[in-house]
Amino acid sequence: MAKRIKSYKGLLIKETTTRDGAGYLYWITTKDNELEWECDSLEEAMEWIDSY
């Protein structure tokens, strides 16, 4: 289950474990939980939002 870890420029960044449980993925969603993008790191997620 994804947990919200940050709100950034009106979008939410949620963290979830990878399928094999060995790491994390970061989902960028709207406040209505519509998936916008999936990233490998929090920094990548914030960079994507900056370029959105």
Q: What is the pLDDT along the chain (52 residues), one digit of tens a residue?
A: 678 789 999 999 999 988 888 889 999 999 898 989 999 999 999 999 999 8
What is the predicted pLDDT for the residue at 1?
63
**SS3 (DSSP) at 3:** strand
Strand partners, 29: 12, 35
Give Cα 44 distance to the centre of its chain.
Answer: 9
Residues contacting 7, CB < 8 A, separation 6+: 13
What does DSSP assign to residue 30? Answer: -
What is the predicted pLDDT for the residue at 25?
93
Instruction: Tell me the pTM.
Output: 0.78
